[in-house]
Every structure is written in C-alpha cells, then in structure tokens.
Amino acid sequence: MPEVKRSIVSEKSPAGAPSASGSASRPGTTPGLVSVIIPVAEANGFLRESVETIGRLTAPAPGGLRRDLRSRAPCEVIVLPDREPAEPLAAAVRIIPTGAVGPADKRDRGAAEARGEFLAFLDDDAYPSEGWLAWALPHFRDASVAAVGGPGLTPPGDAPAAQASGAVLASRLASGGYAYRNRRGSRRDVDDFPSFNLIVRRSDFEATGGFRSHYYPGEDTKLCLALTHGLGKRIVYEPDAYVYHHRRPLFGAHCRQILRYAIHRGKFVREFPETSRRPAYFVPSAFLVGLVAGPAACALAPILWPVYGGVCALYAAACIAEASRHAARPRVALLTAAGLVATHLVYGAGFLWGLSRKDLAR
C-alpha cells in the first residue's frame, strides 16, 4: 500500500544498522533498556502510584526466553508535565516540563529524550502489573514485531462509579470486538491499539516519525497505522502484559471521554479508513437513529410497533444481563446497566458529529 506509506511514514529513517533484535543501533541508545514515557498535565496521586509501581517492575532474565519474574527490569522513567512539580517524584525519574502542549507532543518529546531501545507509553492514571515487561519484551525477539500492547484493567479498589465505568468498557455490548483492550482476551495481532499501554521498538517508532499529531484522543491510531500499514510491521496484543487503568467515573466524566473518542473516530473514518471504517464503529449510531426515528416510522406504519417494542425489549434485556455479572455489587450492577445505555447514545451521537466535521484539532 505505497500511498499509505508516503502519507504516514516519515521519509527519514534512523541511522544505523539493525541489531540482533531488529532495532537500529542509534547513537545514545542503550540496548535492552525500556524508557517508560508518561505525559501528564500536572503531578497527581495516580502518577505517583504509577512511578512507585514502575520502580518494582520485573523483566525477562537476560538472554533467556523464559519469563523470570525475579529479575529487575532495566528501566528509565520520563515524566512530561506542563511545569516542574512542586514536590519531587522518585529520585530516578526524569522530569521534562513541556508547557501546555498535547499528549502526542509530550510523547514525541519524551521519545526524543529517551535512551531506551524500547519506548513504553503509559497514561498517568495507569500503573503496570508486576509481569508487564516480563510478558511484553520477549515478543520483540521477532524483528517483525514493532509494538506490543496489553489490556487496561480496572483497579479493584476504585469507587463503584469508576468500577461501573470499567465494567461498561470491558463489556462486548459496549466495546464489541474491541473489549479485549479493557479485559484480558486472547493473544493476537492488532493494527490499532491505545497508547495507555503500548510498548514500541524505538527504531520503528522513529521510522514512522513518531506520533507527529495534535490529535487527542486518536494520536495512537495514527501511529499504529504507520507501523502496520506503512512499515508492514506487527503489533502484538499480549493479555498478560496488562496495566491497571483508573476509569472516569459514571456519568459525567465517563460520557465526556466517550464523546471525545466517538467524535475523533467519526473523523478518522475519512482520514484513516484502513482501521476506522469498520462496521463496529457505526453500530451505536445506527442504534441511536433507530431509537429516535422508530416512533415516527411506527406512527406512519403502526404494524411496526411490535417490532420496535420487541427490539427495545431485547436491548433492555441484554443490558440487564450484562449488568447481572456484577450482581454481588448491586450499586455497580445498577450503574453498569445505565452506563451501557448512556455510552451507546453518547458514542452514537459523537460519531455522527465527527463524520460531519472537518475541523477537529490535529
């Protein structure tokens, strides 16, 4: 697909010959080192939790194919806030103030400052599991693998409104075939994965030019498209390389996040059709249109009322069945049922809005 490669992959490739692992021997790069890059507006409790957890990470034993959870991971941590934190983080953390720029710009800046052979992108409200790198890094022994992503699981200690938000995102009724991003699924190759938990081979990242985008959200879609459709490389989804990702609580913060995702996905249908023009993304909008237009259609043709009512009843039953998975926590179950409906309606409206707009921030 040459036309994609011209449009989304930088013409400038990194200097140096590939190493045994498939990475270029770029000056200043430390082989085997993982640079964990975390963009953030300002230091917060979630960020401190993440930094402390990274300090206890483990990785595969050097030279071994087996996963050894007793060996320490060679890591550096780079945090990119708008301004210098008032209170210091862990001593080993590199703080690089960037000013008030977007997450994609922060990630590109962090990558430029990083010394690692691998760039591990995390959100500030995510913290890795103990075996995160132990499960992710062995995949890079295959030179065709450019990146590894893993699911973001809801931390068990989150409040009920956040637990319900996570339950919605992890449900196939809400996320369809992409629910594996928010729960542990089966190992597979993917061509689009969120940057809340994405580890990228540095040489491949540089070959694409990085995020090079002011999209937020959606900058990760652009990068993944460049890696897979531009470079012809693989992105592996590894279910055991998971992180814990704090959720936006239902309803306000959750719905605002869903709206942003939907608007940009609608726009990406035009800009990045290779990974965004897929039926699953259109389903919530079709549901919304049917829900709103259904009564008018039934008024014109009353014979349709039983069909409309039956479909609504089946939908309600599906939401209740999904919520019943959390029956041991009644409040979470109730919020999950309502959250599914809210998510479908908000996403459906936002997707249509994105489809119709041409002026979204880049």
Residue type, 350: G
Tell me, what's the pLDDT at 318? 97
In the sheet with 145-149, reading across from the earlier edge strand, the strands are: 93-95, 75-80, 30-39, 116-122, 197-201, 145-149, 234-237, 188-190
Determine the Cα–Cα distance for residues 19 and 5; give it in Å rounded to an integer: 24
Q: Which residue has the higher pLDDT, 203 or 222?
A: 203
Query: At 261, phi and psi to the nearest 5?
Result: -60, -45
N- to C-terminal Cα distance for the chain?
24
pLDDT digits (tens, 9 = 90+) for 130-172: 999 999 999 999 999 999 999 999 999 999 999 999 999 999 9
Calculate mean pLDDT across residues 210-227: 82
Determine contact, residues 227/146, Cβ cutoff 8 Å.
yes
CATH topology of domain 2-150+193-248: Spore Coat Polysaccharide Biosynthesis Protein SpsA; Chain A (3.90.550)
Of the listed ranges 114-118, 141-145, 216-220, 273-277, the least confidently predicted one is: 216-220
Burial of residue 67 (CB within 10 Å: 0-12, 13-18, 19+) is middle
Tell me, what's the pLDDT at 13? 30
Please check the confidence at residue 16 and state whether its pLDDT lies above 60: no
Tell me, what's the pLDDT at 77? 95
Q: Which residue has the higher pLDDT, 73 or 107?
A: 107
Determine contact, residues 158/166, Cβ cutoff 8 Å.
yes
Q: Which residues of 237-275 are buried (b: 16+ CB within 10 A; e: fewer)?
A: bbeebbbbbbbbbbbeebbebbbbbbbbbbbbbebbebb
Of the listed ranges 49-63, 159-173, 217-231, 348-362, the least confidently predicted one is: 49-63
Please check the confidence at residue 235 and state whether its pLDDT lies above 50: yes
Please check the confidence at residue 75 and state whether its pLDDT lies above 50: yes
- Highest mean pLDDT of the ranges 74-88, 194-208, 269-283: 194-208
| Domain range summary for the chain, segments of one domain joined by + | 2-150+193-248, 269-356
Query: At 278, phi and psi to the nearest 5?
Result: -125, 145
Percentage with pLDDT > 70 across the chain? 85
Torsion sign across C-alpha atoms 349, 351, 354, 356: negative
Q: Give the largest CA-CA distance in the chain.
A: 73
Q: Where are the alpha helices (DSSP H) in the chain?
A: 2-8, 45-54, 103-113, 132-136, 160-169, 172-175, 202-208, 219-225, 252-271, 273-276, 279-300, 305-323, 330-356
Please check the confidence at residue 244 and state whether its pLDDT lies above 90: yes
For the chain, the residue count is 362
Please check the confidence at residue 282 and state whether its pLDDT lies above 80: yes
Q: What is the DSSP string of 12-35?
A: PPPSS-B-TTS-B--TT-EEEEEE
Tell me, what's the pLDDT at 157? 92
Calculate mean pLDDT across residues 336-361: 90
Label the pairing between strands 145-149 and 197-201.
Answer: antiparallel
Determine contact, residues 150/73, Cβ cutoff 8 Å.
no
- Return mean pLDDT, the chain: 87
Please check the confidence at residue 340 and state whether its pLDDT lies above 90: yes
Note the pTM of the prediction, 2 decimals: 0.86
Tell me, what's the pLDDT at 232? 96
Determine the Cα–Cα distance for residues 241 and 317; give it in Å rounded to an integer: 34
Calculate mean pLDDT across residues 246-271: 94
Determine the Cα–Cα distance for residues 244 and 242; give it in Å rounded to an integer: 7
Q: Which residue has the higher pLDDT, 221 or 168?
A: 168
Residues paired with residue 35 on neighbouring β-strands, in sequence order: 76, 119
